[in-house]
Homo-oligomer: A and B are copies of this chain.
Amino acid sequence: MNSIHPALIGSLSSTASPEKVINFSPGPTSLPEAVEKQIAANFQKPGLTSLALSHRSPEFIAILEHAVNTARKVMAIPDDYEVLFTHGGGHGQFAALPLNLCHEPTDTATYVVNGTWSARGCDEAKRYCNVQTIDAQDTKTGNYLSFPELTEEIIDKESKYVYLCSNETVNGIELHRLPKLPESRKHIPLVVDASSDFSTKPIDWHGCGVGVLFACASKNIGHPGLTITIVRKDLLGKASPLCPGVFNYTTNSEAGNLWNTPATFNIEVVGLVMDWIEREGGVEANEQRSIAKAKMLYDVIDNANGFYATPINDKSLRSRMNVPFNIAGGDLALTEQFLIESWEQGLIGLRTLTPFGVGDYLRASIYNGITLKQVTTLAEFMVKFAQKHR
């Protein structure tokens, strides 16, 4: 008989009472409570549910326009960018990017690899273009602990774009502001995978030369099955003839996000989350909340006299979204005990199935759905656990 504790296989069904459960999953994860309540209330209304709306009905068109417009407003997306809702998640965009921006397979694209997700994006691009890689892997540990300086020497002048992931979910590295390419490379559009940090800080669209920025919905702004892809209009019309229609930015833009049936309900939810951000003070206030939440956990880790450790020493690169930490240098028995005790108190999602690398790292993901109060609960648990087991 297999008697492994549910906490150790990543169960989300804590024995704590439901109202005590706090979901620290790296995504999919909980939405802000107010949004979840609004969705539940919408399903109680008489008449058609959100799932039943024809994508060509005026009712859905209003929902779509609302989602586009509030995203534009909240993230200050300039008019020379299209806001697309795309299929296929982040992985879909890994293929869509080179297929849209490299007309020929001989075209070059530059990939900054500083973690698991940029590595995956880079691998997928290799099918469709000539990839130039800037790899930030730490040769000693095999982990990604830093972000390379983007000098003109390491970026091909002919590159169709420079790609980076602004928050590496697995590795816990975040660019709190997007970098600017050197003067001689400013003609190259920056392409950003912002899947796990979109909506949590302002973006300097023109200043940083953003060409395309995409974010799968299931971390900060919605639930799985939808990606928001923001494309500077001058980059349209360059797709490879091999680009599948569903991935083609140009045709989807021309069709107003209705080239084929979009994920209607998922789009509605993104609109609700954008409304919530706006109500709560906009992206600036959201960033302050993120800073405060992350600081609380990193402070516990840094003040634990080595009982907890996080891999990223450079505080300017520490992720505000995903806080990886290990216990007593990766002690397996203590890690399991931490997982079980926290889970029984309703703190779930801390164990992930994505291997971090060396050590048994746990990870607290603290997206928009998590409040400062909820982070405090985890922080207090961590302090007590350290006191007991140090």
Show the binding face of A for B, using Cβ within 8 Å.
Answer: 6, 9-13, 18-19, 21, 23, 25-31, 36, 39-40, 43-49, 51-59, 87-92, 94-96, 99, 124, 127-128, 216, 218, 222-226, 241-242, 244-247, 259-266, 269, 349, 352-353, 369
Contact = CB atoms under 8 A, between A and B. Distances in A.
A241 B127 contact: yes
A353 to B, nearest CB: 5
B57 A30 contact: no
Nearest to A222: B51
A259 B353 CA distance: 13
Given A25-B57, A28-B52, A36-B52, 8 more contacts: A11-B58, A27-B261, A28-B55, A29-B54, A56-B353, A88-B244, A94-B244, A223-B265
B90 A260 contact: yes
A26 B54 contact: yes
A261 B94 contact: no
Contact of A29 (B28, B52, B222): B52
Given A245-B95, A264-B224, A54 B12 contact: yes
Given A225-B87, A242-B128, A263-B224, A49 B40 contact: yes
Contacts of A45: 18
A158 to B, nearest CB: 23
Contacts of A90: 260-261
Contacts of A247: 244
Given A23-B52, A39-B43, A224-B263, A88 B91 contact: no
A218 B244 CA distance: 21
Contacts of A261: 27-28, 89-90, 216, 218, 224
Contacts of A96: 244
A220 to B, nearest CB: 13
A100 to B, nearest CB: 12
A321 to B, nearest CB: 15
A296 B191 CA distance: 55
Contact of A11 (B59, B91, B223): B59
A259 B91 contact: yes
A138 B269 CA distance: 44
A7 to B, nearest CB: 11
A40 B43 contact: yes
Contact of A224 (B55, B95, B127, B222): B55
Most buried by B among A19, A25, A222: A25
Contacts of A53: 12, 28
A99 B99 CA distance: 14
A286 to B, nearest CB: 19
B263 A13 contact: no
14 contacts: A10-B54, A12-B59, A13-B58, A27-B54, A36-B49, A39-B43, A51-B269, A56-B353, A87-B89, A88-B260, A91-B245, A94-B244, A127-B242, A223-B265
A223 B91 CA distance: 22
Shortest 3 CB-CB distances between A and B: which pairs? Answer: A225-B263, A18-B47, A95-B244
